[in-house]
Amino acid sequence: MKKALIVYSGGLDTTVCIPLMREQGFEEIVTLTVDVGQPEADVRQAADRAREMGCEHHVADVKEEFAAEYCAPAIAANADYFGYPLSTAIARPLIAKKAAEVAHAVGGVDAFVHGCTGKGNDQFRIEFGLRLFAPDIPILAPIREMNLTRTWEIDYAERVGAPIGQSKEKIWSIDENLWGRSIEGGRLEDPNYEPPEEIFQWTASLAAAPGEPETVEVEFRAGVPVRIGSVSGTPLQVIAEANSLAGKHGVGRIDIMEDRLIGLKVRENYECPGAVLLIAAHRALEALVTTHAERAFKAQVDAQWAELAYQGLWWDPFMEDLNAFIGQVQRRVSGTVRMRLFKGGMTVLGRDSDWALYSEAAASFDDTTSLEQSQMTGMVRTHGLESLLYARLVRRG
């Protein structure tokens, strides 16, 4: 009896994979939903749908692991891919890792199945992880391999009686975890289409956001957020509170043109209130405790980290190298940052750390002892000397 393990979200693509795999001779279907912070109702719905379709269903609750080992490193790296905090991207490696673990636990799996299309990034991220942790098990991607469209999938699901939530009128494709929420598909694919308010669930509109600003303090220890406002605890607890606070004020709506791995330029909408808030606070604190050279080099490291994370290359040796440098810097990123949230905007009000590389006396225009201004005369005269010599040669012809 052939057995397939489907990486199962409960959505349209993965739901139609179940009857499609049976048509290809897989009599035994195991489904796995990896809980990385999506709504509990979605996790329950996935379980109900899988069991309704006669599958052996598993759920892996990895929210704590995702927050501590994926989101926290993303904060340390100020993770940003052209304005996107990498919410979906950093969840995929963990999902693939857990799928491999479950496959080994249940035994006898003849194929992994995922619902990624051939136009997206997730096919790269998930298959890299599966090949790393379960290299001997083949991978099937029916949506990609059969060149299926969402309209065809809806018609097929209705024909075979597969339970789905999409319709041809409301065809949004939504992916959600504790680090962010992505919404795409349907008319949102048009870069000139204004997103309707109905697609947003985590962030208040400007009209609905509070009419008064709110100040919130974020505390970090070695680069990890340990407190926001009155809530102290694990990264999972801090991230959840950050999502609530920033979302209430409409912070974290992102609408970008994104360059996918295969070369497509696509329009993407995200809600990442907690990620946007915590990364901004972390970046402000990091600027206080690092040298100029460290800041300049880390900006390059962060950009490389985001590129690898976007590609799903979580266990690439270069990622290990980047994390080594980032981790060294984070030893000093401890302190607090005060942020003001108001009507979709966010402002750093102050930052404080025992590791601050800042001297108020030296920076003050009223101080004459910590840094004597006259000592700068010789340094200023030699500034740009090579450029001045070059300019003389050019004028001389």
Contacts of 230 (CB under 8 A, 6+ apart): none
Give the end of a domain, one of 333, 352, 371.
352
Burial profile 114-135: b = 16 or more Cβ within 10 angstroms, e = fewer: bbbbeebbbbbbbbbbbeebbe
Q: Are 216 and 322 contained in the same domain?
A: yes
Which residue in the list 173, 295, 316, 338 is annotated as catalytic? 173
Q: Are 59 and 155 contained in the same domain?
A: yes
Active site residue 35: no
Judge whether residue 177 has pLDDT over 90.
Answer: yes
Active site residue 13: yes
What gap in Å lies between CA 272 and CA 119, rounded to an integer?
23
* Residue owning tokens 């005269």: 381
Q: What residues form DSSP beta bridges with 259?
A: 265
CATH number at residue 100: 3.40.50.620
E strands in the chain = 3-7, 28-35, 56-61, 111-113, 139-140, 173-177, 180-184, 214-221, 224-228, 231-232, 253-259, 265-271, 335-342, 345-352
Q: Are 183 and 169 contained in the same domain?
A: no
Q: Are 304 and 339 contained in the same domain?
A: yes
Which residue in the list 35, 80, 122, 175 is annotated as catalytic? 122
Q: Are 18 and 125 contained in the same domain?
A: yes
What gap in Å lies between CA 134 and CA 346, rounded to an integer?
44
Q: Are 148 and 126 contained in the same domain?
A: yes
Helices vs strands, H then E, count in the chain? 15, 14
CATH number at residue 202: 3.90.1260.10
Active site residue 92: yes
188-189-194 Cα angle (round to 5): 35
Q: What average pLDDT is seen over the chain?
A: 94
Kind of pairing between the strands at 231-232 and 335-342:
unpaired
Which residue in the list 9, 13, 283, 302 is annotated as catalytic? 13
Per-residue pLDDT band at 382 (split at 50, 70, 90): confident
What gap in Å lies between CA 215 and CA 34, rounded to an integer?
35
Judge whether residue 361 has pLDDT over 80.
Answer: no
Q: What residues form DSSP beta bridges with 256?
A: 268
Sheet holding 56-61, edge to edge: 56-61, 28-35, 3-7, 111-113, 139-140
Per-residue pLDDT band at 362 (split at 50, 70, 90): low
Which residue in the list 92, 181, 253, 351 is annotated as catalytic? 92
Q: Are 262 and 338 contained in the same domain?
A: yes
3-state class (DSSP) for residue 15: helix
Tell me the residue type at 22. R
Per-residue pLDDT band at 364 (split at 50, 70, 90): low
> For the residues 338-355, what does the mean pLDDT come to?
97
Give the end of a domain, one of 173, 189, 217.
173
320: which 2 tokens? 């290990």
Q: Could you report the per-residue pLDDT of 83-129, keeping only the tens digit for each?
A: 999 999 999 999 999 999 999 999 999 999 999 999 999 999 999 99
What gap in Å lies between CA 140 and CA 252, rounded to an integer?
35
Of 130-144, 156-170, 232-246, which gets the smallest average pLDDT? 156-170
pLDDT at 367: 62
pLDDT at 297: 98
Q: What is the dihedral of CA 294, 296, 300, 302, to 10 degrees?
A: 60
Q: The domain containing residue 198 runs over which residues? A: 176-352
DSSP 8-state symbol, 145: H
pLDDT at 370: 67
Of 103-112, 116-125, 342-351, 370-379, which gets the smallest average pLDDT? 370-379
Q: How many domains does the chain have?
A: 3
Q: Are 304 and 326 contained in the same domain?
A: yes
pLDDT at 3: 97
Q: What is the pTM of this model?
A: 0.92
Q: Are 98 and 117 contained in the same domain?
A: yes
Q: Are 184 and 168 contained in the same domain?
A: no
pLDDT at 172: 76
What gap in Å lies between CA 79 and CA 75, rounded to an integer?
6
Q: Are 268 and 286 contained in the same domain?
A: yes
Active site residue 131: no
Contacts of 68 (CB under 8 A, 6+ apart): 234, 235, 236
Q: Are 169 and 182 contained in the same domain?
A: no
Contacts of 105 (CB under 8 A, 6+ apart): none
